[in-house]
């Protein structure tokens, strides 16, 4: 019943309604957020026994040229799938005053409305969360690698946020 999405998708909202693939809707609550990492975790209300869990892959072995699929709702066009390749790895992006590091760059079409949706490998496993586009060009999209998403979302589910790092020096 947990949903991982981008923080910028839920930012400023106080109520959350999630539409599922079968067109049914569920209310959701925020478990926690990591605004500086542009991630948030929601929890669906009600029974979740009927939901299908998406298979999560790994992002530590990705290769430039690897085929990927981006799923989302660009411009309100629901259940859209686009195909592309990984164009680069470990990219940094300055977006609206925030700097995001270590992103997956893809030429799979990512537009407003794709944010928070999965970036999949050809086996249908989630390898990233679609998060941004380079607005001065076409065909340059970015996703947060799933291995980082897993670490951050685990911390959010445990603590409600990502605890700050402290070295004790």
Angle at 55 between CA 54 and CA 61, to 5 degrees: 140
CA distance 147 to 125: 12
CA distance 15 to 167: 37
Cα–Cα distance list, 130 to 71, 133, 159, 160, 169 (Å): 8, 9, 24, 22, 36
For residue 48, how far is the Cα from the chain centroid?
21
90 is catalytic: no
Which of 59, 109, 115, 153 is flagged as catalytic?
Answer: 115
pLDDT band per the 50, 70, 90 thresholds, residue 112: confident
Q: Are 133 and 110 in contact (CB under 8 A)?
A: yes
136 is catalytic: no
92 is catalytic: no
pTM: 0.90
pLDDT tens for 149-164 read: 999 999 999 988 888 7
CA distance 157 to 52: 20
Which of 8, 87, 109, 147 is flagged as catalytic?
Answer: 8
pLDDT, position 169? 66
In the chain, pLDDT over 70 holds for what percent of residues? 99
Which of 38, 87, 107, 109 is flagged as catalytic?
Answer: 38
């Amino acid at each position: 019943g947990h949903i991982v999405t981008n923080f910028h998708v839920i930012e400023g909202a106080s109520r959350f309604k999630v539409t599922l693939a079968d067109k049914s809707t569920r209310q959701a609550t925020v478990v926690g957020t990591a605004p500086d990492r542009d991630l948030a975790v929601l929890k669906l209300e009600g029974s979740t026994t009927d939901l299908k869990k998406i298979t999560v892959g790994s992002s530590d072995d990705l290769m430039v040229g690897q085929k990927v699929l981006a799923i989302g709702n660009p411009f309100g066009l629901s259940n859209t799938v686009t195909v592309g390749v990984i164009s680069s790895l470990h990219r940094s992006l300055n977006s609206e005053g925030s700097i995001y590091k270590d992103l997956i760059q893809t030429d799979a079409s990512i537009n407003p409305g794709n944010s928070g949706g999965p970036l999949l490998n050809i086996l249908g496993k989630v390898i990233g969360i679609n998060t941004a586009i380079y607005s001065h060009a076409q065909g340059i999209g970015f996703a947060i690698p799933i291995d980082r998403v897993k670490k951050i979302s685990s911390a959010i589910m445990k603590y409600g946020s990502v605890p700050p790092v402290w070295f004790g020096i």
